[in-house]
Amino acid sequence: MSSNPINKVALRNIAAHKVRLLLTVLSVVLGTAFVTGSFVFTDTLQRTFDDLFADVAQGVDVRVSPEQAGASGVPVEDIDVVAAVPGVQTVVPSFGGGVIVLDSEGAAIQTGGAPAEGLAYLPPDRRLGDPETFVAGGPPTADGQIALNSSAAERGALEVGDTTKILTAARGIQPVTISGIYDVKSDSGGYVGALFTEDQARALFTDGRHVQYVDVASDGSVTPDELRDEIAAAVPDMKVQTGAEVTEEVKSDVEQALSFLNYFLLAFGAIALLVGTFIIYNTFSMIVAQRLRELALLRAVGASRQQVGRSVTLEALVVGLVGSILGIAAGVALAYGLRAALGAADIGLPSGPLQLAPRTVIIALLVGVVVTVVSAYAPARRATKVPPVAAMREESTATVESLRIRTIVGAVAAVAGAVLVVIGAQGTGGGAASTVGVGALALILAVLLAAPALSRPIVGALGAVFARPFGAVGRLARTNAARNPRRTAATAFALTLGLMLVSVIAVFGASAKSSVNTLVDTGIKSEFMLTGPQMMGVPAGAEAAAAEVSGVTEVVGVFGAQAKFGETDEFGAAMSGPAGDVLSLDITAGTEQLAGDEMLVSTDTAATHDLQVGSTVPLTNRDGDTIETTVVGIFEDNQVVGPWVLSEDMLDRFVPAASRAPMVVLLNTADGSDPETIRAGLEGATKQFVVVQVLDREQFKGQQAAQINMLLGVLYGLLALAVVIAVLGIVNTLALSVVERRREIGMLRAVGMQRAQVRRTIYLESLLIAVFGAVIGLVLGLVFGWGFVRTLADQGLGEITVPWGQVLAMLIGSGVVGVLAALWPGIRAAKTPPLEAIADM
């Protein structure tokens, strides 16, 4: 290939412009690195979890578990039924549940999101899998003893013989002694595994009438599939699987959970690639414009159109290939850094070797090379149309007609997009959100097409504000920014995309916080709340302890209750006291007083199921029992309790005893009582439960806002890459623009413009481009944010809030970014030797 003279010219041209090559390659590297890093990170997690769960049912031929997830479990009477099935040799009932173990200082051992579970210890002769390997001490032999996995013991600074406490949702706090420390297969990532005696585990984690699941080993006379079928016939209400099916189900669940993470990361990788595409496109457009004379001279000395087009495409191919290879290496480093950062933050992910699959390398290479070559296609096509006579001209400019056509198409897309966004915003649910999404894509396309036409009036208006104080230098910067609308629009579009996404998230976050605040203010009457860990709730005993505090008049726990309502499973609320005393339920019909088999339903639920006061509703709990329930009241939709509220009498039947912990406990206080005295009393009464927090209304709002901020922080961190690429795009464009205008800058220097004035011109030009892109991006983001939040009204986002302070900060930040991006191109322009530049003419 290199023997072709045109190809030699293309390759030498790449080597001769190292700065331009570096900036263009960097944009490809950043995009492909995110895609590669996403695959490597999730593949690594997938492989680690596969290895971890490969023996989740080791030695198990058949497992019997409840059909409905979250049910009370397998009835104990079914154990004997299973044991009597021909072919069964060993039956091992299993029970366990969530547990919090306190460290040597009395604080909870942090898991970072990894499981923390209590299990029954089984001696080797009764286990179906490999027994635990004890590195110190031994298994628990009496109630009040636990064995702890080694990593948890190390984090908690606990040794054999130490005393501590454990906390469970349904049984509260229990004192324990460490009997032994054991190793597990993958003892990392924050996992806590506490082993109890069978009797104590049964008392802590079951209701005495059920076990979590039952494992069965065959005597060898039948195959696992045959044994499964025999047991399924004996206990038809249970889910019966072979050990292999259990393993596959667990792996599938993990894969599904990780696929969401993969899609999430790849979405941001796609955003980074999209932004990078415009930078690459812009770069090659400017390269072609700068090389117009060179390409025309090649045509004049005999090069064909195809050869000229191939030379530009070859440059793109080399850039894409080099950028993709470097991007793969950077992606592996990114995955490693991401895992290290999550480990440092104690997120609780298991460790394992990084996985770089051939599929990842192929996709990264294809994406990087194809994106680069496709983005260079249009400039290459324009290059083939350069007539030899163009060698006598300095540059060619876009025709007004071509701008007019794309502007008209853009205007049509803008109208269609705006209509779709407005229509979608009038509804709720996935269909409405999809309509808004299609409208958003149409508006983005409209901006892409119409941005060159928009740039002249908007940049002109911005220039009148920002450039006026700088006199002639400001007017020159304004003229330069508006002179090539295509280049200005393409440069600004990368920043437009980045800030559009940031502002959508900002509107979503501000609306979520505002909605939570309104929900608390209008939906909750109580002055104080007790909260616990999200996966556990408020431990048993804390509610009773709070009720003993002087000045506390009412204590009501809000429990999550699941039931089959009609044909669908729904989550509502069950209360441990009168709902109307602690919640502001706006009753539209009937009464809020509940007793016996009675319930309240929301207006939306009543309309969906055609219910009125007095209607009978058959509710089926997770154990399969159906209770005929009477509707005694209808209330305005309230996200605190969900679609329906059950009476205190129904709590036992819809919230399994083994996991019965309120999501939040609401507390009313006596009139005239001192809030600080009440708080001190509550903190003292619940101190023993360690993880319980006493919050007033404002603190409760702050807690919810902190969770939202954590999510937003992750999103902003990922979007920062798109903004970084956009900034590099501005640097790239300005640097190439300086090369393109070398003679012009030399002439200005020759007639007396000082170096500081040249730098100032470049800074102002960059400022105008950046602010132009920011304004368009923020407007789009606010519109899209409004539309998407409207579609989530049924999910509790009833308030639409625009964070104007954040919007202003982003606008100012964009201007600062524009100036910073222009520092190097500005300095480079100022160093242009006047005589050499003029001599090039």
- Per residue in 491-532, pLDDT (tens digit) is 788 788 888 888 998 999 899 888 888 888 888 888 899 998
Do residues 329 and 388 both lie within one domain? yes
180 lies in a domain? yes
Look at residue 300 in the predicted model and tell me its pLDDT.
72
Tokens of 257: 């959970």
Note whether 263 and 315 are same-domain residues. yes
Domain count, the chain: 4
Looking at the fold, whether 324 and 391 belong to one and the same domain comes out as yes
Closest CA to 806 of 503, 513, 598: 503
pLDDT at 389 over 70: no
Q: Are residues 621 and 539 in the same domain?
A: yes
Pick the more confident residue, 303 or 360. Answer: 360
**How does DSSP assign 433-481, residue by residue?**
HHHHHHHHHHHHHHHHHHHHHHHHHHHHHHHHHHTGGGHHHHHHHHHHH
- pLDDT score of 709: 83
- Say if residue 623's pLDDT is above 70: yes
Are 684 and 709 part of one and the same domain? Answer: no
Contact (Cβ atoms closer than 8 angstroms) between residue 265 and residue 95 = no
**pLDDT tens sequence across 654-664:** 887 767 889 89
- Among 11-20, 21-30, 130-139, 787-796, name the one with the lowest average pLDDT: 11-20
Task: State which of 331, 366, 396 marks the end of a domain.
Answer: 396
In a domain, 42, yes or no: yes
Task: Look at residue 837 in the predicted model and tell me its pLDDT.
Answer: 59
Same domain (yes/no): 580, 641: yes
- Same-domain pairing of 610 and 626: yes
CATH number at residue 606: 2.40.40.20
* Phi/psi-derived region of residue 554, left when phi > 0, alpha when psi is between -120 and 50, beta in every other case: beta
Angle between helices 358-384 and 18-53 (to 10 degrees): 150
Instruction: Answer yes or no: is 412 within a domain.
Output: no
- Is the model's pLDDT at 535 over the cut of 80? no
| Residue 447 covered by a domain | no
Domain that holds residue 537: 533-691
Q: How far is CA 384 from CA 264, 291, 296, 380, 666, in A?
A: 40, 12, 9, 6, 74
* Domain identity same for 316 and 269: yes
Q: Is residue 130 part of a domain?
A: yes
Is the confidence at residue 755, as pLDDT, over 90? no
Flag whether 339 is in a domain. yes
Report pLDDT for 180. 95
- Is the pLDDT assigned to residue 392 strictly greater than 60? no
Considering the domain boundaries, does residue 431 fall inside one? no
Confidence of residue 401 (pLDDT cuts 50, 70, 90): very low
Question: Strand, coil or helix: what is 529?
Answer: strand
Per-residue pLDDT at 15: 63
| pLDDT the model gives residue 188 | 60
Residues 87 and 234 occupy one common structural domain: yes
Choosing from 637, 667, 691, the residue where a domain stops is: 691
| Strand order from edge to edge, sheet including 62-66 | 88-94, 213-218, 62-66, 238-242
Burial class (CB in 10 A: 0-12, 13-18, 19+), 75: middle
Is 440 part of a structural domain of the chain? Answer: no
Portion of the chain with pLDDT greater than 90, in percent: 22
The residues facing 552 across adjacent strands are 669
Q: How far is 50 from 185, CA to CA, in rounded Å?
A: 12
In angstroms, the CA 298 to CA 10 distance is 12
- Structural domain ending residue among the three candidates 396, 417, 445: 396
pLDDT tens for 179-197 read 999 988 765 667 888 999 9
232 band by pLDDT with thresholds 50, 70 and 90: very high
- 490 and 600 in one domain? no
pLDDT tens digit string along 665-714? 999 999 888 989 999 999 999 988 888 999 988 888 888 888 888 778 77
Compute the average pLDDT of residues 801-807: 90
Judge if 719 and 799 occupy the same domain: yes
Running DSSP on this structure, what letter comes out for residue 797? -
406 - beta bridge partners?
A: none
